[in-house]
């Protein structure tokens, strides 16, 4: 079993909790990236702990809290009681001024670091998942430190640079725990599609002249990101994910924009992305790509979360510690080290898991067998 704790019972949590419960009663969950990681299937995930600060969520059973205001994920299953009561967390900078009505803090005492460490230990959490609002710099580090001190793995889904920070890598290493991150990449979200096109252009010998990726959505994630001062790391994470596919990333940075660009309430969890690329091809002839992508933003994040919590547990089982870059490359926008393409990132993951004797199925690289044999020779 993979005993998961959630920090931030928002829209991703609402889809993740339902998917995990669904998997217990259905052998096939459509769209999972890997059925088996280290012997763990989706049905082996148990959510045993959850923490939030909102008065709408703290003190409630998780089954009720995931549908509480302002979450907008619909009921996908008949959700039974979970007996996981949402605990009160530390507010710090998790609640922006303009979000006070959406995330109004509950009137409960906030835990100290020591108390949180003890809670994580007493609930026997294996993996703690960070799903706080963008810009929660202090709060994310507070929960990360608690996880490290409790010897619990940490999956950092948000654009705070923690798994990629040598100080936190060392902290987790010293406590014998794993940290994966930063900023989860959607299954088929705007980042991976923009990255794939950019990497294809470089692979075919052409050159990107300018590019943007505009994203709009209608949930609290997008509303929270209206505060420009909370966005610095999000823009860096999204921009670097695309620039890193190019031969000289620094040359394209001044002509590249990728970030959240607007909050349109009626969109709910639907995210609309506009990706534009102008490139120079043979003999300088131009090419323009204009692409519109429409996705459910939370359905994009959840399958990646489902993979990464099992991966974190499988790594802990094998005694892996700290922040192995190859474990985060495929799944996160801002890993400690970027791969030039997602194929390269996936190959790195497979080769390292094989070295550690951790199974992963199915293999998503169609040329996996050929590549493996080539590497051996
Ligand atoms: N495709 C995606 O959805 C995607 C991709 C990459 C990253 N992310 C990031 O994942 C994070 C979670 O996304 P979401 O849509 O679930 O967010 P959300 O806005 O729906 O939920 C955030 C939750 O955090 C809670 N919270 C605020 N401060 C807190 C604190 N100090 N302690 C505990 N809980 C606190 C809020 O009450 C709320 O329940 C966001 O930062 C988002 O940008 C999402």
Model pLDDT for residues 301-322, shown as the tens digit of each residue: 999 999 999 999 999 999 999 9
- Within 6 A (CB) of ligand 1 lie 7-13, 51-54, 57, 89-92, 94-95, 103, 131-134, 139, 157-158, 183-184, 186, 189, 219-221, 224, 297-298, 300-301
Q: Name the strand (E) or helix (H) holding 21.
A: helix 11-25
Q: Name the strand (E) or helix (H) holding 66.
A: none
Are 176 and 243 contained in the same domain? no
Pick the range with the lowest mean pLDDT from 94-103, 140-149, 251-260, 312-321.
251-260
Are 114 and 216 contained in the same domain? no
52 C-alpha to ligand 1 centroid (Å): 10
**pLDDT at 376 exceeding the cut of 70:** no
Looking at residue 368, what is its pLDDT? Answer: 85
Looking at residue 93, what is its pLDDT? Answer: 97
Q: Which of 282, 297, 312 is the last residue of a domain?
A: 297
Are 82 and 218 contained in the same domain? no
Q: Identify the CA nearest to 144 among candidates 158, 155, 159.
A: 155
220 C-alpha to ligand 1 centroid (Å): 8
For ligand 1, atom 4, the nearest C-alpha belongs to 301
In a domain, 86, yes or no: yes
- 330 band by pLDDT with thresholds 50, 70 and 90: very high
Looking at residue 367, what is its pLDDT? Answer: 82
12 C-alpha to ligand 1 centroid (Å): 7
Looking at residue 9, what is its pLDDT? Answer: 98
In a domain, 356, yes or no: no
For ligand 1, atom 22, the nearest C-alpha belongs to 10
For ligand 1, atom 38, the nearest C-alpha belongs to 10
If you ran DSSP here, which 8-state letter would residue 184 be given?
A: B
Looking at residue 377, what is its pLDDT? Answer: 63
For ligand 1, atom 8, the nearest C-alpha belongs to 158
Are 317 and 293 contained in the same domain? no
Are 158 and 293 contained in the same domain? no
356 C-alpha to ligand 1 centroid (Å): 33
pLDDT in tens, 161-219: 999 999 999 999 999 999 999 999 999 999 999 999 999 999 999 999 999 999 999 99
Report how many domains make up the chain.
2
CATH number of the domain that residue 253 is part of: 3.30.360.10
Are 179 and 69 contained in the same domain? yes
Pocket test for ligand 1, best of 9, 12, 88 (most atoms within 8 A of CB): 12
C-alpha distances in Å from residue 164, one per residue of 180, 253, 331, 337: 9, 20, 13, 8
Q: Does the predicted model carry a pTM greater than 0.95?
A: yes
In a domain, 203, yes or no: yes
Looking at residue 366, what is its pLDDT? Answer: 84
234 C-alpha to ligand 1 centroid (Å): 13
Across the chain, mean pLDDT equals 96
Using CA atoms, how far apart are residues 258 and 238, in angstroms rounded to an integer? 6
Q: Which domain holds residue 261?
A: 190-297
Whose tokens are 């549908």? That residue is: 67
CATH number of the domain that residue 100 is part of: 3.40.50.720
Using CA atoms, how far apart are residues 122 and 136, in angstroms rounded to an integer? 26
Pick the range with the lowest mean pLDDT from 8-12, 274-278, 372-376.
372-376
**pLDDT at 129 exceeding the cut of 80:** yes
Pocket test for ligand 1, best of 157, 221, 299 (most atoms within 8 A of CB): 221
Q: Which of 297, 320, 337 is the last residue of a domain?
A: 297
Are 130 and 224 contained in the same domain? no
Range 230-248 average pLDDT = 93
From the CA of 91, give the closest atom in ligand 1.
31
Whose tokens are 């990629």? That residue is: 164
Are 137 and 265 contained in the same domain? no
pLDDT in tens, 68-117: 999 999 999 999 999 999 999 999 999 999 999 999 999 999 999 999 99
- 374 band by pLDDT with thresholds 50, 70 and 90: confident
If you ran DSSP here, which 8-state letter would residue 205 be given?
A: T
In a domain, 124, yes or no: yes
Using CA atoms, how far apart are residues 80 and 308, in angstroms rounded to an integer? 25
Are 118 and 222 contained in the same domain? no
C-alpha distances in Å from residue 327, one per residue of 170, 181, 313, 320, 331: 16, 9, 12, 11, 8
Q: Identify the CA nearest to 305 among candidates 77, 63, 33, 27.
A: 33
Q: CB within 8 A of 233, min separation 6: which ones?
A: 134, 135, 137, 159, 160, 161, 183
Looking at residue 27, what is its pLDDT? Answer: 85
């Amino acid at each position: 079993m993979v005993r998961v704790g959630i920090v931030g019972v928002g829209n991703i949590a609402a889809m993740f909790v339902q998917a995990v419960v669904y998997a217990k009663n259905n052998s096939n969950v459509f769209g999972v990236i890997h059925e088996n990681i280290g012997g763990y299937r989706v049905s082996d995930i148990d959510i045993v702990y959850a923490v939030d600060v909102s008065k709408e969520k703290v003190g409630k059973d998780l089954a009720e809290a995931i549908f509480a205001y302002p979450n907008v994920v619909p009921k996908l299953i008949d959700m039974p009681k979970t007996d996981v009561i949402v605990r009160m967390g530390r507010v710090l900078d998790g609640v922006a001024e303009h979000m006070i009505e959406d995330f109004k803090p509950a009137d409960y005492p906030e835990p100290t670091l020591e108390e949180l460490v003890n809670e994580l230990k007493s609930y026997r959490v294996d993996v703690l998942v960070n799903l706080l609002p963008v810009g929660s710099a202090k709060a994310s580090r507070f929960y990360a430190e608690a996880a490290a001190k409790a010897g619990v793995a940490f999956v950092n889904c948000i654009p705070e640079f923690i798994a990629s920070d040598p100080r936190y890598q060392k902290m987790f290493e010293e406590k014998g725990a794993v940290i994966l991150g930063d900023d989860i990449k959607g299954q088929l979200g705007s980042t991976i599609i923009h990255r794939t096109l950019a990497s294809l252009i470089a692979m075919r010998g052409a050159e990107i002249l300018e590019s943007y990726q505009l994203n709009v959505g209608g949930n609290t994630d997008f509303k929270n990101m209206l505060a420009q001062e909370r966005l610095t790391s999000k823009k860096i994470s999204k921009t670097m994910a695309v620039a890193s596919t190019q031969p000289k990333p620094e040359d394209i940075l001044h002509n590249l924009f990728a970030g959240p660009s607007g909050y349109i309430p009626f969109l709910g969890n639907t995210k609309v992305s506009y990706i534009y690329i102008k490139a120079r091809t043979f003999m300088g002839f131009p090419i323009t790509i204009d692409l519109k992508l429409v996705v459910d933003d939370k359905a994009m994040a959840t399958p990646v979360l489902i993979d990464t919590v099992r991966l974190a547990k499988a790594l802990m089982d094998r005694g892996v510690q700290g922040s192995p870059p190859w474990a985060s490359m495929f799944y996160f926008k801002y890993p400690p080290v970027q791969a030039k393409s997602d194929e390269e990132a996936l190959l790195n993951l497979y080769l390292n898991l094989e070295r550690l004797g951790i199974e992963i199925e199915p293999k998503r690289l169609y040329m996996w067998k050929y590549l493996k044999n080539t590497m051996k020779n």
